[in-house]
Structures are given as C-alpha cells and as structure tokens.
Amino acid sequence: MAEAPPEAPKVSKRAAEKEAKKAAARAAKAVAPKSAPATNNAAAPSKPAEPVDPFKQGWLKGVYSEKSIPGEEVHTRFPPEPNGYLHIGHAKAITVNFGFARSYGGVCNLRFDDTNPSKEEEKYFTSIQEMVRWLGFEPARVTHSSDEFDKLYELAEALVQKGKAYVCHCTPDEVKRGRGQLGGGEFGERKACAHWGRSVEENLEEFRGMRDGKYKPGEAVLRMKQYLATKPEEYEVHEDDSTEIRQRKERLKAAADNPALWDCAAYRVTKNNHHHRTGDKWRIYPTYEFTHCICDALEGITHSLCTVEFETLRPAYNWLLEELDMKDRGSDAKGPMQREYGRLNVEGTILSKRRIAMLVEGCTVGGEGKDIADEVDDLRLAEEGDPEPEAPSEAAKAVTTASGTTKKTIPPAVNGWDDPRLFTLVALRRRGVPPGALKKFVLDLGVTKANANTMTHILDASIRTYLERSVPRLMIVLDPIKVTFTNLPEDYSEPRTVPFDPKDKEKGTHTIPFTRTIYIDQDDFRETDDPDFFRLAPGKSVGLLYVDHPIRCTSFA
C-alpha cells in the first residue's frame, strides 16, 4: 500500500525550491522588455545547418567528378544474381547504387543477372524486388540479363569474327597448366593452348556447334582472346625505347600479368539448359565476365559501382567493351565507367549465400570429392538461449560410401532464411529492424575504397539510436506489481500529459491517467531497504515521472 494525497499534497523541500526557481524565471520573462531590432553591428541569426548529402562527399563525390558529362543523366544499376536471399552486405550495394543516382538526379535499374539457370528460382526474384522496395527504393526499370541473350550471342559471334575469341576444348587440368600452375606449388611459363590459333571460320563453326548441342558440359568453352599468349619479350623495355613505347610496354605487361585477362570464358555449355524465362531455347549461356559489362552498356549505365573484389576485373570489363566498340580505348567518356568501393563486413556473422544455404538446408561434407564448404565448424550459430531448430534426432549422420570414404550429413542449424539469428534482409525485417536504420548504418560507416569492418554490437547501437530519434516512446511494465494508494478514492483519476519524445517536443504528447491503482516494475521495489537503493521500499518516499505527488510505501503484501 502507498499514500498519495489528492488535495494539496506535501512537496519535498528540494521540489519546492525547484518550483520556486521556475516561477521566478517565468515572472522575469513576462516583465522583460522585448528585444530591440538588431543593429548593423549585431551578428545575423544563424541559419539551420543544411543536411549533409553523403553522396556528394569524399570518394563518391570523386566518382561523380570523374564522369560528369553535361546533359547526361546519371544511370546506375543493382545487379544481383537470383540464387539466394539478400543479406546486410547487399543493403550497402542497394543504398550506394540507388542513393548515388538519386542524389545526382539520375535513375537506377534493378537488373537480375540470370545467366546460371541451374541455381535460380522464382522465389529469389520476388524476394529481391521486395527487399529493394522495403529499403525505400523504386527501380527505374526491372531488367534481366536474359533480356539480351540474343544480342549477347550476336556480339559473341562478332568477337569471333574479329579474331578476338576462340573455342577451347581443354580439360580443367590443361587450363591450369596453360596458366603456369604445374601443381605441388610449382609454377611454370604461361602459354596458349592448341586451340588458340584456330582460324576465324573454324572457331565460328565450333561456336555454332556449341549452340546447337554438339558438345556436353565441359567439352567446349568460348574464350576471349586476351593476353594469355603474350610473351615476355613483347613488353621487354630497351634502352632506345621512347617514352611512349615504354608506357605502352608497361601497360602491356600489366595486362599480361593480370589473371583476369588470361583468356576468360565467354560462353559455356551448362548441365541444366532450362531457363525460367527463355525455356529450352539455349544450350549455352554467357558468363558473368562477358554479360555484365555488355548489359551495362546496352542499358546506358554511366557509373557501374561494385565492390573492391571486382577491381582486378576492371581491365577485362574495359577490354571487352573496347573490342566491341562500346567504349573508347583508355577513356571513360563513352560507355559505362566501373569503380569499386569497400565491402561491408560484420564480424561474427555469415554473409555468404552459399554458407547461409548450408545453415538453412543442411549439408553433406567429406566423401570422395571436395567438401561442400571449408571449416564447417565456423558455420555454427552460437546464440545462447535460442531454441534449437527442428532437426533429425542425430546431430550428424555418417554415411560410408562404396569406396570406403565417409560422408557426414549435417542437419539444418536455423529455421529458414528469415531466422532472426541470420543477417539476411528478410531476417532483419522479421527482427523488427527499420529499413531506415540499415541505410543510416551503411552511410554512417562511410563509402570509400576501404572495406567497412564492424561488429554486431555497433549495428545494434546504431539501430537503437535510430529508433530513439524516429519513433514515439511509450511505457510498458514488463514485470508488474500492483500499487494501491490508500488515501485516494476509488474513482480518482488525474490526467497527466506525457511527451512522445522528451528531447523533441514537436513530436507531440499523449495523456495517461494517474489513478488509485498503478503498476510499477518488480525491480523498482524492495521489501528490505538499502542505502544504495533509490526506489520504493517500506517507509520510503519516491517520486513518479510526470506526477507531482511523491508517494510513500506504508505496507506491502
């Protein structure tokens, strides 16, 4: 039981002094003369600071400055592969590409890189679009790489006819040896394979044979004729070389030493030919290295923004566009310009779609072939207190193959792609994370060439700060105990005005009643008082937030 006088309640000396000071301040303000007009010597009132546009600062500003052509609209794209659900790392890619275009008055496409039919499912297409819109962005166009399959094939034939592509029948081991990988940690000279010197006519016939089903998967690959066959003597510098020749040889050496330019694959025969959009029309499909830059050019992309692991692929990106006359040599004025920013890495999380799929679906490791993933132990989620997902009774089932090797079947570790322990976007949404908090988190970390490495508690703190400033505050008692004021009538009710945000009065207020019965949290009461305890206890008076009357505990049961 507690007391709270309804009429002329007693106020502590300290509270009375504070109220007297407030009253004196109000009185002084009421009689104070109005401020005189500012003179010429007075400082002008400061204007509120303009919000900083993160896309017009630092590295992103520099990227725009590199390719800022009057009259040309900024055009970016977000190009996910529809083979899994997006995760928090994709939130950065989405925010950077859509935000950059929006900031400079341009547009951004959502382009599905659907060139691998064996791994793509309709549910991923649907979820990706949903997540982009959940983050607050609307694509100017939703496109698919498969929209351009006819054009891509036409350009591949054009590359063959220029003598810049050939059909290769090498085995994987032969390909490695041709790139100087001799095995056992030994390396040798790089050299072109026996098929490199074929005539244009023969390569064209072989490529059309690939298209028409002549070859099985792995038996034939169309390769771009880049710098694999470049000999060291071609870029050897001599004393009498002019500055121009020296620079040209330096560029040639850099290209020849870049594995991304060692005759990358352009088209391959796939195991699963059926495509969700084009059906059974194609038996061959273009690779990422061939498709990506061409689709950028065909869509009119001006700034192709991607993460730093693609930086070594930029020479191959430019090489192909230059060979197809979609880009001027050594210049970004025409065609798309690729630039790379740092990835978002959140320590203590799993962001690889392949590894998340293993957590969701389970996996098999060991056996005759290579394990499905490295370091399986790293895939376990150690979330103390979380319920175990439904799984077979055995934690892992061992299976012995005919050859005597052992495979281990590991059951699923989480309950779906939206399990709150994951950092997929669907999981974060289910957890209640606002999309605005994710975007602010990404931009607060900055967008530069350096990877943004952070930890989960930094993300949690960022989300709390965002919620504190963006949502109204309401009170809830999680572990309630009942408090009855014995000296108040049964029907007593005193309305109290409470702000939604104590630090921002413009967010408004709401009214709650102060009645004879209230509830406080169990942690706010002790049966035995303590000098270090400043809450309610027998014989002790305390104040209530937003209530003028102090209350005193007279008894408890």
Write down the residue that tokens 């931009």 correspond to.
443
Q: Confirm whether 179 is a catalytic residue.
A: no
For residue 46 the two structure tokens come to 């400061």
Q: State both tokens at 332.
A: 């970004």
Who's near 183: CB < 8 A, 6+ residues apart?
176
Please classify residue 108 by burial: count the beta carbons closer than 10 Å to its beta carbon, then call 0-12 exposed, 13-18 middle and 19+ buried: buried
Q: Are 266 and 165 in contact (CB under 8 A)?
A: yes
Q: Distance between CA atoms of 152 and 146, rounded to whole angstroms?
A: 9
- Asked if residues 312 and 77 have their Cβ atoms less than 8 Å apart, the reply is no
Residue 10: how many other CB atoms lie within 10 Å: 12
d(CA 101, CA 108): 6
Can you read off the two tokens belonging to residue 136? 């607050």
With contact defined as beta carbons under 8 Å apart, do 555 and 4 qualify? no
Torsion of CA 146, 150, 153, 157, to 10 degrees: -160
Q: Phi/psi at 458 (nearest 5 deg)?
A: -70, -40
Q: Length of the chain, please?
A: 557
CB–CB of 227/261 below 8 Å? yes
Question: Which ranges in 257-416 belong to alpha helices (H)?
Answer: 288-298, 314-323, 353-361
535-557 CB burial, b ≥16 within 10 A, e <16: ebbeeeebebeeeebbbbbeeee
Residue 222: strand, helix, or coil: strand
Closest CA to 83 of 110, 131, 123, 133: 123
How far apart (Å, rounded) are the C-alpha atoms in residues 272 and 379? 29
Phi, psi of 408 (to 5 degrees): -115, 125
To the query of whether residue 353 is one of the catalytic residues in this protein, the response is: yes
Count of Cβ atoms closer than 10 Å to residue 94 Cβ: 26
> Among 61, 179, 283, 343, which one carries the catalytic annotation?
343
Smallest CA-to-CA distance from 266 within 115, 469, 400 is with 115
AA letter at 47: K
Q: Is the dihedral of CA 365, 371, 376, 379 positive or negative?
A: negative
Q: Please state, in angstroms and rounded to a whole number, the distance separating the CA atoms of residues 36 and 456.
A: 54
d(CA 190, CA 475) in angstroms, rounded, equals: 70
Strand partners, 538: 553
- Catalytic option among 3, 61, 67, 81: 81
Q: Which of 111, 353, 439, 440 is catalytic?
A: 353
Sign of CA dihedral 62, 66, 70, 71: negative
Residue 207 and residue 222 in contact, taking contact as beta carbons nearer than 8 Å = yes
Asked if 130 is an active-site residue, the reply is no
Strand 142-144, strand 107-112: pairing: parallel
The residue among 440, 426, 339, 464 whose CA lies nearest residue 130 is 426
> Active-site positions?
81, 343, 353
